[in-house]
Structure 1
Amino acid sequence: ARFRGAGLVPFNPQAVLLKLDVKLRTPTPSRPSTANTTPWVSQTPSNLTEALSQTTLVRNRIARHQGSSPTPLFETVVALAKGTERLAHENTLLSAEVRTLQAANEALSKRRRAKKARVREGGALIVEDAQDIIAQEDVDEQVRRDVRAAGGSRREGQQSRRRCRICGKAGHNVRTCQEAVDISSSSDSF
């Protein structure tokens, strides 16, 4: 009975249209989301936030892609891949640097702890403590050798005092050497 009252059975489209309460109006244009009033520009991301924004842009463009040229879409994907690759490489380098610095800090703190372990008068000395002290002394000796070796190379770069070629003494040269004067005066007398 309801289908008949609506004009659907028997099929009567005119009766259906008469029963509809339609008010015609102009559709409003769709607005961009309020969170992103300015759309993200496709560029190579340099940090995590930009990479996430780039990912959102790529998703939106893929969702809106309807038969238009895919070139801008491919350029965006290439920029995203390039930025992600750069971030991955940077992350790898930073991780390696962190590991190196942690190892250096551990060695430094070990050295500092070893310096505090001193044999007290009348106290018992444990074998492990003695080994640590000996190891620390070896490390200190190696550091001293390295400093001496580095110091020796620094001295090579410095100028040494000039010496006389005749007598080998410092403080004068051939022109002012007394022995040269004595030698020349004795050769003149012949």
Structure 2
Amino acid sequence: MENMKTGFRGTGLVPFNPDAILSRMDIRIHTPTPPSLPPSHIPDWVSQTPHNTTKALSQAFLVRSIIVQHHSSFPTPIFKATDPLIKGIEYLANTVTILAFENHDLRLTNMGLSKCRHAKKIQLRLEGALTIQEANDIISQKEMDIQIKRDRQQNRRNSNREASTNRCCSKCGITGHNARICSNDNIDPKLLDSA
């Protein structure tokens, strides 16, 4: 109970005496300093060559934050000088990334083509030396194979044309028209038997 009375007396509530509390307060008016990050939050900056856009931009923003925290310099002229550099770095990083992908694709394509060429050379090496006559025979055989393929394709095209041109009227059996426009009223008995 005594503890509670002392607490009320200390706060100036019982007996009511606000002057006693104000006299004990030491009021000093001062302007607060701007908050700065403690040194543990600022990572030590080590200059490194960025290998992608993300690393380049994070390094640029880290340099900007270090410039802002430096108290003896006014950062606006420095920012005007560094902004174009940051944009240039970002552009170059994006360009390098695109070129790296294109280069990778070209290398894969080139490897595929060189494997085909290399396989042909290996096949010739395994068979031994070619005489001029054997080389001419191989070339003529390839030309004949190509000609056979062309002939087969031509025959397929011609057979498709013949199938489309051999159509005839279902009423009279004459080619050149169909049953809708047939002027012949006589029905061919051969066509009735086939149906």
With structure 1 as the length reference, what TM-score do the two structures score?
0.37
Larger Rg: 2
With structure 2 as the length reference, what TM-score do the two structures score?
0.36
